Amino acid sequence: MSKVVLCYSGGLDTTVCIPLLKERYGFKEVITVTVNVGQPEEDLKKAEERGKKYADRHYTVDAVDEFVDMIFMLIKANGDYEGYVLGTALARPVIARNVAEIAVKENADAIAHGATGKGNDQLRFDNIFLEYGFKVIAPMRELNLTREWEIEYAIKNGIDIPVTKDRPWSIDENLWSRSVEGGKLESPSYIPPEEIYEWTNREAKEDEIIRIDFERGVPVALNGKKMSGRGLIEKLNRIGGRHGIGRTDMMEDRVLGLKARENYEHPAATILITAHRDLEKLVLTRRELKFKRFVEEEWAELVYYGLVNDPLFDALNAFIDRTQERVTGWVKLRLGDCHVMPVARDSEFSLYREELVSFDSLGIDQSLAEGFSIFHSLQGRLFRRLKRD
């Protein structure tokens, strides 16, 4: 084999992969591909610099708009896996498809990635790369490497790396979320230092109320101002972060069955999903909401497992999109110290009727409810009477 395309983040794992692919696997040419899904500009710049420095050729692909489309799907599905808003998981298929397209263009012999054999990313990347028919190379997994070994290898070989033994955090950041793991953070009993957080600084001194407008389940405006999806998410990350909204410290069940301690930051995701769920409660029927919860759980699991190319994923989205035809309106939320709470909402499709609900108006003949009440609990009463007798 002569040519391999490497899915490249610019971090420790993937940078170490470049020489390993030549030394251990015999590739003559390593091509790095960095896919932009909303990482910081500085990270993209560093990845490009390292890719051009250590690889034979480098590509940077802008896939932010494609990722935003996936985020909109997630919002409509209230995407949540065990409390995790799927930021990294959702981005992986977008990254993988763009890397695979470059591999097709380059007529590569294989595609490589820096995922380990203990995490979920190996499955997400492998799935898409195999779909395109490529041989997959995973040096971290196949050579059974540790992070400490990688750091020492990088130092020994003069490779510029973004971590040290004292601060071995592994950070994955995109438009939707920021994850931090590694080092002492892996221990469930370790309290994370404030230094690991960047998005949620809690600098706001007072609560504030914001308004988010939705059209067919998609957020389209903030405080009455129409915004692009990317702009709205970036703005809410800043606003929510000032209030410390969107931190998740959790024990997560990985696909392989391993329990792992994970730390995330996701202000915009927390705010938007909270607002979207609240608006759905106003416009969807009780049975729609109940059934959609089952759909949402399956949807989130497919994303977490990296199975977005499964036919079921398309079928679930078809159902979700049908429910979103009426999820149009606005929600006002109060943002405070580490919390977000809906305080008002309105929609032309609202199923709320004041004249039916209010204690201050008749609206409906209350005496009609007596017959319903008699039959409502009939079987339970009969059962209890039999037990007493």
CATH assignment of 3-170? 3.40.50.620
Neighbours of 120 (CB within 10 A): 21
Beta strands 110-112; 135-137: pairing state: parallel
> What are the domain boundaries of the chain?
3-170, 178-346, 355-388
Segment 38-88, tens digit of pLDDT = 999 999 999 999 999 999 999 999 999 999 999 999 999 999 999 999 999
- For residues 97 and 340, give the distance between their C-alpha atoms in angstroms, rounded to a whole number: 35
Average pLDDT on 360-369 reads 74
63-78: burial string, b at 16+ Cβ within 10 Å, e else: bbebbbebbbbbbbbb
Is the pLDDT reported for residue 33 higher than 90? Answer: yes
Residues that are catalytic: 13, 92, 121, 170
pLDDT at 182: 86
Residue length of the chain: 389
Q: Sorting pLDDT into bands at 50, 70 and 90, what band is 113? A: very high
Task: Tell me the C-alpha to C-alpha distance, in Å, between residue 183 and each of 10, 98, 330.
Answer: 19, 31, 43
Q: Could you give the CA distance from residue 274 to residue 214 in angstroms, rounded to a whole number?
A: 13
Structure tokens given for 210: 């914001």
Q: What is the CA radius of gyration of the chain?
A: 25
- Give the tokens for residue 182: 């590694």
* Average pLDDT score over residue span 179-187: 92
CATH 3.90.1260.10 fits 178-346, yes or no: yes
What is the spatial distance between Cα 6 and Cα 112, in angstroms, rounded to a whole number? Answer: 5
For residues 194-211, give the mean pLDDT: 95
Residue 321 has pLDDT above 70, yes or no: yes
Q: Which bin fits 144, alpha (ψ -120 to 50), beta or left (φ > 0)?
A: left
Q: What pLDDT, on a 0 to 100 scale, did the predictor assign at position 294?
A: 98
At 325, the pLDDT band (50, 70, 90 cuts) reads very high
Q: Angle, to 10 degrees, between the axis of helix 286-305 and the axis of helix 311-323?
A: 150
Does 143 score more than 80 pLDDT? yes
Find how far residue 273's CA is from the centre of its chain: 11
Amino acid symbol at 243 = H
288 pLDDT more than 90 = yes
191-198 CB contacts, 8 Å cutoff, 24+ apart: 192/249, 192/263, 196/169, 196/263, 197/247, 197/265, 198/265
Give the integer Cα–Cα distance in Å for 349 and 327.
8
pLDDT per residue as tens digits for the range 154-182: 999 899 876 665 566 788 999 999 999 98
For the stretch 218-249, what's the b/e string if a residue is b when 16 or more beta carbons lie within 10 angstroms of its beta carbon? Answer: bbbebeeeebebeebbebbbebbbbbbbbbbe
* Whole-number average pLDDT of the chain: 95
Whether residue 12 contacts residue 145, with contact meaning beta carbons closer than 8 Å, is answered with no
Report d(CA 140, CA 158) in Å as an integer: 19
Helices (H), 260-388: 267-283, 286-305, 311-323, 354-357, 369-376, 378-388
Query: What distance in Å separates the CA atoms of residue 324 and residue 322, rounded to the nearest whole number?
Result: 5
